[in-house]
Amino acid sequence: MFLLKAIARLKPGVALEQAQAELQTIAQRIQPGGPTATPGGNPRPRGEGGGRGGRGESVLTLVGLHEQVVGDVKGGLFVLLGAVALVLLIACANVANLLLARAAARQREMAVRAALGAGRLRVARQLLTESVLLSLAGGGLGLMMAFWGVRALGQWSGASLPAMHGIGIDAWVLAFTFGVSVITGLAFGLAPAVQAWRADVNAALKEESRGDTGGQRHWLRHLLVVSEVALALVLLIGAGLLIKSFSRLMEVNPGFRADGVLTFQVTLTEGKSSPQKINFIEQIVERLKALPGVQAAAATDSLPLTDFSRIGVADVEGRPPIDFSKVKPGEVTPHSRPTVTLDYFNAMGIQLKNGRAFTSQDARAPAGSVIVNETFEKHHFPGQSAVGKRIRLMTGVGEKRWQTVVGVVSDVRQTGLAGDVISEVYSPELEDVGEALSFVIRTTGEPARLISAVRAVMAEVEPNQPLHNVMTMEQRLANTTTSRRLNTVLLGSFAGLALLLAAVGIYGVMSYAVTQRRREIGVRMALGAQKSDVLGLVVSSGLRLTLTGVMIGLIGAFALTRYLSSLLYSVKATDPVTFFCVAVALTGVALLACWLPARRATKVNPMVALRHE
């Protein structure tokens, strides 16, 4: 049983669904009751599909090339796009709040302008112009930061983002930035402009400089603060879920020791006979072992964290043989069947759990010795040891002879830390090795220092044989988490920025409220109010806004974080601990933002405040 990957270009006007239907018809004609075509979608991880059962199970999958290339990162990019939009809204709400406060402070100025002949439309136009200019300045600064940020992102993300080298600041980005800047400047400068439009000129000219103590015009600023807190909470909860998920992912045991291991891959040239392949592999392995600082060297056709396509199913001696004509979908569990050299487990640091490792007597047919992993043992021999049992591999090209299990090794996560563990049957018989080979070298020093020596060894054995993907095992392992790490860092950065903006917004509103209510606070203190009373008055006002925003944000986060499910590992999108901790943390930051202007309010001198005009 093999995985077959084919590439086809559809005729003009032919949809993917039509190709799926035709492929299903062809598959049924070739093998009645056999595999059927399944719709495209996100590409399955390595090792999934293609051999997941007997006949009748859907194992043919059609995937569009675009989906194949970007399927793993598309969801994360949409989440990040949503995060950027939320940060933009929070920033705009902050600017709108500041503009409202500034417009209130300039109310007398605008009334004077109107009294001298300026029309209301002209006054509103002036305020909108100021808002748009401010927004354009922010957009320009953002472009400067984006220029350096995109370059840093491309260097850091590596291969985790497809075609990252083609992403940059172009005319479309400039036009989009200009459009967003103008639209946000108009949208969030509209409130102060409308406030100036509706202002009563006579009342404004007669109003004393003591400020507005009634609070009837504060509702919009309060609404903006509540919105900032709610949006910030949604982002913080999303970031908290990703951080917790990534932390749990990094705790996963890959089943091998990645430190001190150098790997490279070779695709054998066509026309090599089986003895030639065996001789080539043995020469390379022996020469690699002779290099200074090398503890062990080995070869395999299924290195963890690389593509492999050799799968099959197994019969167990003493049990009824598998009858594929009667097997229902899901009743047969496939296994991968890597071929390895004798010192592979030592070189990879894969722990032997039971039995023995391979010996030189096992390396040649018909010795019939195999080693299985723990998952294979648990599935086929629950509650028993697999050592000494005999199995027969069925590969789709004929049934093999009976082979004896001589050892059991720990499970290896072939597809990455987040991938499922699959059953594996290791064979030392190089006659069955595949064309794509991977070599593993365990060293006592820095693995990268051996790269030039490895290339020299390959040149000595076969000068025309290229090698590729030369990297340490730690690099391979890190590459499997780069996309998740990138999503976590970016969303965490956006959430931190949102938290800062929300804190600034709360501080700005409370500080402005203290300034507007300075006379009131002076009267309260003159009538005997203590500093703790004033402190509680200001803090409680800000806390009410914060708690309102937190409640709305919790509802929003509960509805939106489900879109993060595909990015999470071992964490629910509605994790209550994350929701609670983030809500408490945000409330604490908001209290600090309220306490600073409240502390300033307690230092108001009643006599000065009462004399203030």
Report the share of the chain in percent with pLDDT over 90.
30
- Indicate the pTM of the whole model: 0.79
Place of tokens 């043992």: 377
Q: What SS3 state is found at 4? A: coil
- Quote the CA–CA distance of 505 and 539 in Å, as a whole number: 14
- Quote the CA–CA distance of 307 and 50 in Å, as a whole number: 13
**DSSP class of 427:** B
Token code pair at residue 578: 């994350």
Neighbours of 333 (CB within 10 A): 16
For residues 333 and 313, the answer to whether their CB atoms sit within 8 Å is yes
Neighbours of 248 (CB within 10 A): 15
Token code pair at residue 327: 């097997």
Residues 6+ apart with CB under 8 A from 391: 314, 315, 316, 317, 370, 372, 380, 402, 403, 405, 425
pLDDT at 161: 55
For residues 569 and 249, the answer to whether their CB atoms sit within 8 Å is yes
pLDDT at 1: 43
For residues 245 and 569, the answer to whether their CB atoms sit within 8 Å is yes
DSSP H helices in 5-49 = 16-30
- Quote the CA–CA distance of 380 and 543 in Å, as a whole number: 60
Distance of CA 470 to the CA centre of its chain: 26
Average pLDDT by consecutive 10-residue portion of the chain (613 residues)?
A: 68 83 72 48 38 42 72 74 89 82 70 72 80 88 84 64 64 87 83 66 54 54 89 94 93 92 87 84 93 94 80 82 61 81 94 92 80 93 92 67 92 86 90 86 92 92 88 90 85 92 88 78 78 85 92 93 87 94 94 88 68 53
| Letter string b/e over residues 572-608, b meaning 16 or more CB atoms within 10 A of that residue's CB | ebebeebbeebbeebbebbeebbbebbeebbebebee
Which residues make beta-bridge pairs with 265? 438, 468
Q: What is the mean pLDDT of the chain?
A: 80
pLDDT at 555: 95
Q: What SS3 state is found at 425? A: strand
Using alpha carbons only, give the angle 528, 532, 537 rounded to the nearest 5 degrees: 90
Cα distances (Å, whole numbers) of residue 506 to 94, 213, 227, 401, 588: 9, 19, 11, 75, 12
Token code pair at residue 362: 């096992």
pLDDT at 260: 93
SS (H, E, C) 423-443: EEEEECCHHHCCCEEEEEEEE
pLDDT at 158: 56
Which of 600, 608, 450 lies closest to 526 in space, CA to CA?
608
In the chain, what's the furthest Cα-to-Cα distance?
A: 106
SS (H, E, C) 310-330: EEEEEEECCCCCCCCCCCCCC
- Quote the CA–CA distance of 396 and 110 in Å, as a whole number: 85
Token code pair at residue 45: 């991880």
Token code pair at residue 360: 């030189």
Q: What SS3 state is found at 468? A: strand
Place of tokens 């590459």: 479
Which of 213, 222, 215, 219 lies closest to 518 in space, CA to CA?
213
For residues 127 and 177, the answer to whether their CB atoms sit within 8 Å is no
Q: What SS3 state is found at 265? A: strand
For residues 264 and 502, the answer to whether their CB atoms sit within 8 Å is no
Domain locations along the chain: 85-251+479-611, 261-473
- Quote the CA–CA distance of 433 and 453 in Å, as a whole number: 25
For residues 188 and 497, the answer to whether their CB atoms sit within 8 Å is no
Token code pair at residue 207: 């109003």
Neighbours of 57 (CB within 10 A): 19
pLDDT at 50: 36
pLDDT at 441: 96
Residue 69 half-sphere exposure toward CB, CA atoms < 13 A:
7
Token code pair at residue 573: 């999108």
pLDDT at 297: 95
Could you write out the DSSP letters of every residue in 213-247?
-S-TT-HHHHHHHHHHHHHHHHHHHHHHHHHHHHH
For residues 332 and 379, the answer to whether their CB atoms sit within 8 Å is no
| Letter string b/e over residues 20-35, b meaning 16 or more CB atoms within 10 A of that residue's CB | beebbeebeeeeeebb
